[in-house]
Structure 1
Amino acid sequence: LFLIAIIAGGIFIPWRYSRYRLEQQQQLAAEIAAENDRIEKRATEALADRPSLAVYRLKVEVEEGAIALSGKLPNQRLRQEAEEIAKKAAPNLQLDNKIVAVEVPVDPEQVTMAVERVTGALNQIRGLSVVTEYAEGKVTLEGTVTDMAQSEIIVRELEQIPGVKSVVSTIKLSPLTLKTRIYFDPNSAKLKPAYGETIAQIEQFLSQYPEKYLKIEGYSDRVGNSKKNQQLALQRAEAVRDALVEEGVDPRRLEVSGNATPPPDIESNQPLLLSRCVLFEPFEPGAQ
């Protein structure tokens, strides 16, 4: 019996060890596969998030410490753009860029679909609302943005679509941008130079919407004399009005007022700075 036990042990122990090694290898392989899947998903989503690449079918594969890109793009610039995105998504892996840059005949229907996809992707950006129409190589672009710099980005993205020869934009600044506020120091109605860009943006809005007039409402904190605070609030509104007039805005389109209290949405427990401000409200003269 002792001999049989020794023989059985000699067989069983190596078998258990081999099985343990196999289970460890299988677990490691599963973890590597899961991590590869995560990297592939991250890189694929990053490529899809770029409007200029979202219209193309690109494949991402990760194996043996490398990330491989494959598919077709119309030029080297987009090929390089895809490579840079993949590097950011997987900075610790080697990159094998198998994407082929080829010139392909342009199908007007495909271009229309590409313009629609890019438009849809752009409209996911907060504050953007644009409409596009494609015909004979030209994209007509309409809508509103919260920052005119966004319009340049939109035009650039559309111009990158193969088959698009020109983009005509009539984008305007959204009225929502006038929810901005200009703040002042205590006992001061002096407009800070840092608000120069804000003033320019408001002037741009009024230029784009000639039917709009603008209420400029000054406010004050509750510190000190109420009469003095109202006068100070009015001076703040007038300072903003004067800055807009210097930018070329017709003063007849600007209506100023001063309030000895904070804005309605500011609570007494909030910082006093939030009370010392100027607010804007666009309106149409006949609609008040």
Structure 2
Amino acid sequence: MRLSSLFIPLAAFVVAAIVSVFAAQATVAVVEDRSVDAVQDSLQDAGHNWATVLGDGLQVILEGEAASEAVRFRAISISGTVVDASRVIDNMTVVDSAGIAPPDFSVEILRNDSGVSLIGLIPAASDRAAITQRIGDIAGENLPVTDLLESADYPVPDGWDPAMDFALRALAQLPRSKISVASGVVEITAISESAEQKARIETELRRTRPSDVRMALDVTAPRPVISPFTVRFILEDGAAQFDACAVSADAGERKIIAAARDVGLTGPASCTLALGAPSRTWPDAVARSIAALGELGGGTVTLSDTDITLVAPQGTAQGLFDRIVGELENDLPDVFALEAVLPAAPDAAGAGIPQFTATRSPEGNVQLRGRVSDETLNSIAENYARARFGGTDIDMGTRIVDGLPANWSVRVLAGIEALSMLSNGSVVVEPESLVVRGNTGNEGASAAISRLLIDKLGQSEQFEIDVVYVKQLDPIAGLPTPEECIGQIVGLSSERKITFEPGSATIDAAAQSLVDDIAEVLKLCAELRIEIAGYTDSQGREEMNQQLSQQRAEAVLAALRMRRVPTSSFSAIGYGEVDPIADNETEAGREANRRIEFRLIEAEPVEEQPTALEEAEAAVTEEESETGTTDEQN
């Protein structure tokens, strides 16, 4: 009895222990399965389908091959949010970095008045010290250079070095710019100080761009600030013209041009878009003043900021003049003040009107003739002319006389300054008028002269400007087109010929002058892609002829380079004996076939490259699309 009573509690304890063990094992299995399933689902939801999740008791084991350390770390982090991080065992591997594609090297350079900054990724083999030194030289001693470049040890991609070199040369020309550099591609965004500087910058960059570098160029020029803001409109004998016209918006220009056409303006017309308009009602005041001239049948109207001067034609009836001027005064916006002038009829005493003339020849010779009031004005006029015309010899033929108007010196000096704005022409100064005539290569010269004379003489003074814009005198617009450049070279080559010493690639001494002339033509041309093609006759082996023609084409290219012609976009190709232009059976024909030809290379269309932001957005979109597809499949 005593043994039986002891055995029963012991047996119950053993059975309870066995049941507890089995219950614990079942609980662990359930926890293990649920943990594995939860972690696996979370990883798949995050797009980590490459990871495999195993369970070992309460531990969660991650296996698989991660694309990078960053991806591996994200998988561990995601798992740690589902189960306790201490239960996560990392058995993952990382893809061998040697098999990863090299990164896209790129640099962004920003230059402004505060300094130069660089950010991006460059090959480790790049000469970083040389790049920093060049940028330091560009920035100068007083401006900082912020270097945020990183490097990666991968091979230097094709086109990287010429693109970086061109970008740094462009940076030296552009004080306010952003330049993006990639392999074989340079994107330039810059601000110039004027339209003329913008044209010069664009021309120079296109001329010096390497042939294996693509360029995206965006140079903007701010609107000029004009003070005083000026319009001068003349209507005479039915012919109308603007001496100067400034507006602040396109809509205002359209309103002013329309008013001018209503009173007789014909042909092309435009106004300078500029800053400095004294009032938002400026176009209304200009248009109404021009309409008043039309009602008078002629005259001149000048607006300088808020001051308006209207000069009616001589002989206008007093009643008509009063009525039109009165209506104009009432119609003008409040801020504008009108001065109207009805000139008196000339008298017979005008035969002895004093006169001063200044002329400038196309060769640059300057002559001053006519009357001056005293020796001081005579000396000042000569010295002022020397200063304005860059030290040119001044041919003086002036006379000192008494009785000239009080403002004669101002009129003489204003006339000399106006003449200096022309390539050639003349100025005639009289007591009641000033006439400027001539040619210029500056489209804004007429407006600039008008503002000058208004400022120096006053709005009510009579002056006439007859200035013709000549494209050939414009240093930018006058550049020949690529077709014109090739046409000039062909014309030179038709009269003479680039010849070589027999059997060699040495340019003959007699042909050096022709190469000189061709180089001078090319220096005046904008960016050109030119092929220098070499040809031979059919004598000798074909392979040798091809090699000789290649050497001769390269010799011409080298000769042009020695003459400081930008040849980065030129190519030299030898064609040997193909494409004969004459019969190789005769000596004259063989001589004709031994030749150098210049021809334009047609530009290939530039495929727009996506920006780094666009590439990143596309990658995110693609990843989201793939994740969505995976969710649907799951």
Same fold (TM over 0.5): no
TM-score by length of 2: 0.20
